[in-house]
Structure 1
Amino acid sequence: MTFNKRLYALQLKTKFDFEDNLKNIENISKGCGENAIIVTPEVAISGFCYQRMDKASEFSKIATERLIKASEDKTIVTTMIEKYNNKYWNNLKVFSRGVMVHKQTKSKLFPLGNEHHHFGSGKESEICLFDIDGIKCGALNCFEIRFPHLWNLIRGAEIIFVPGQWGKERKEHWETLSRALAIANQAFVICADSANYSMAKGSAIISPFGVVIKNDKREVVSSEVDLSEIKKMRKYINVGLA
């Protein structure tokens, strides 16, 4: 396993124009360098555009192809709206080395945002470990972070991705849960939230020891991490992950 990795948590405003949002992600990704791991906020390309779901799902086909290309020398994690089986789905996708290496559908839909009225609910079995450059990874999509039993599905992950559209009224919950996720799983967590007006921001890189790197004023939060910290932490405080 490569022991040094540059991690990026994006903190983006999602605009009305899908193309502008995708270009912004592409441009930022270009500047992140080789071997980077980049996590965007949830539905960063479209937002929860309930009046334009058909257009968003069609644009997701374009976005998927372009993010495959953008990920040729790095990893990009995002979520997007897709339609099949006569339903819309909020799909988390992981692009790495020019391939989509993982996909999972959001299983826990946020009732206060009426997500259950607009999306189908995915299977929890899709939440699982997957490999990036020899690193065990896992992901939870926004509201899913509130469910501890889902944490167990990615137990053993060394890096956990959490894209979000988390409201600022519950900012403390977002920051507490994401830090607890890192400490409980003795893993690095990359959590990326929207910078739109009603959102919490709080995008961060969190170490297995619970050290938080964040800056609510920046569009990009980054840190070069030493992945050997994971092994040291798991050996130092053995909870069965060593």
Structure 2
Amino acid sequence: MISKRLYAIQFKTKQDFQSNLNEVEGLVKKCGEDAIVLTPELVFTGFAYQRMTQASEFSKIVTESLLNASKDQSIITTMIEKNGNCFYNNLKVFHKGEVIHKQSKHKLFMLGEEHLHFCSGDVEEIIPFRIDGVICGALNCFELRFTDLWRRLLGSEIIFVPAQWGKARKDHYETLSKALAIANQAFVVASDSANESMAKGSAIITPYGLCHRDDKREIISAEVDLNEVEKMRKYIYIGLESKRCLN
């Protein structure tokens, strides 16, 4: 058995950036050493369209904090960052005190006016990465709706989906997250905001489509056996193979 403890944070983001950071830091600490923790999309600032410069500056503080916190844990989150004249919604993976992967949100949600405030990231950044040799991938919220992006992550054993997904489309988030797990024969960690207008629906989903979900909790967790990915791909063969390289 090759086990990993996966955690999805389900947090209500507030207007006070520092308060958000303090509270999320506390939740991450509760997850313990060697945890792999996913937060909701833009959990530290929200979309903050009226405070984009302030939010991007605060992301520098968040980054320093997570570099320190990730010495004993792996943390996946997203934050507003500025590069040149553009603001980006950047997904970053913190592991062993380093940023080991970064991708800018490629598919911007027009209904939420993201395209008016952010630049679109390069789709070529949406590629698998490794955490302790385990092949992982990530899709940032609205990107979950695009199956061509699912295919970019084929072979991943764990796929992370941080979100600020609206309550009116809750069933879409839950259904698509489950479908991704089944189609890519991978574990999916889905982390949505707990704000009033949001869907919640955070979950740990197995390659068989079994969901560990609780809309009332701030932390959803499951200890998973990564051999289940290999079994699924062996017995229901669709051409996927695991290429894990454990350290």
Amino acid paired to 2:217:
R
The question of 1:104 aligning with 2:103 is answered yes
Q: Tell me the amino acid that sits aligned with residue 76 of structure 1.
A: I
Structure 2 matches for 1:206-225, cutoff 5 A?
A: 206-225=205-224
Give me the whole-angstrom Cα distance separating, in 2, the residues matched to 1:185 and 1:84: 33
For the residues of structure 1 that align with 2:81 and 2:110, how far apart are their CA atoms? 19
Aligned to 1:74: 73
- Work out whether 1:16 is the aligned partner of 2:12: no
Quote the Cα distance in structure 1 between the aligned partners of 2:90 and 2:209: 28
SS in 1 for 2:217: coil
Is 1:126 the counterpart of 2:88 in the alignment? no
Q: Can you list the C-alpha shifts for 1:117-142, whole angstroms capped at 9, x where unaligned? A: 00000010000011101100000000
1:160-200 deviation line (CA, Å, top 9, x unaligned):
00000000000000000000000000000000000001000
The AA in structure 2 aligned to 1:177 is L
Q: Deviations over 1:64-96 (max 9, x none)?
A: 011010010110000000111111100000001
Q: Could you tell me how far apart the structure 1 residues matched to 2:118 and 2:106 are?
A: 10
- Find the counterpart in structure 1 of residue 200 from structure 2: 201
Corresponding residue for residue 51 of structure 1: 50
CA distance in 1, matches of 2:21, 2:188: 24
Deviation of 1:30 (Å): 1.2
- Provide the secondary structure at the position in 2 that maps to 1:52: helix
* Alignment correspondent of 1:153: 152
Q: Give the whole-Å Cα distance in 1 for the aligned partners of 2:157 and 2:114.
A: 30
- Unpaired stretches in structure 1, ≥5 consecutive residues: none
Residue type at the aligned position of 2:86: K
1:33 Cα shift? Answer: 1.2
In 2, the alpha carbon distance for the partners of 1:24 and 1:5 equals 24
Query: How far is 1:20 from its partner?
Result: 0.9
- Name the aligned partner's letter for residue 20 of structure 2: N
Q: Residue 245 of structure 2 aligns with which residue?
A: none
Deviations 1:36-72 (A, max 9, x none): 1000000000001101111000000010011010010
Gaps of 5+ in 2: 242-247
1:236 and 1:96 map into 2 onto residues whose CA distance is 32
Matching residue of 2:169:
170
Whole-angstrom distance in 2 between the partners of 1:34 and 1:241: 31
Name 1:63's counterpart in structure 2: 62
**What is the SS of the residue equivalent to 2:159?**
strand
Please state whether the residue corresponding to 1:231 is helix, strand or coil: helix
Specify the code of the residue in structure 2 equivalent to 1:192.
Answer: S
Deviates more, 1:83-92 or 1:198-207: 83-92
How many residue pairs are counted as aligned between the two chains? Answer: 241
AA paired with 1:32? C
Partner SS, residue 62 of structure 1? helix
Cα deviation per residue 1:141-161 (whole Å; 9 max; x = unaligned)? 000010000011111000000
Structure 1 ranges of 4+ moved more than 2 A:
none
Write the letter of the residue equivalent to 1:232: K
Secondary structure at the aligned position of 2:228 is classed as helix
Which position in structure 1 is the counterpart of 2:93? Answer: 94
Secondary structure in 2 matching 1:51 = helix
1:40 aligns with 2:58: no
Percent same amino acid at aligned positions? 63
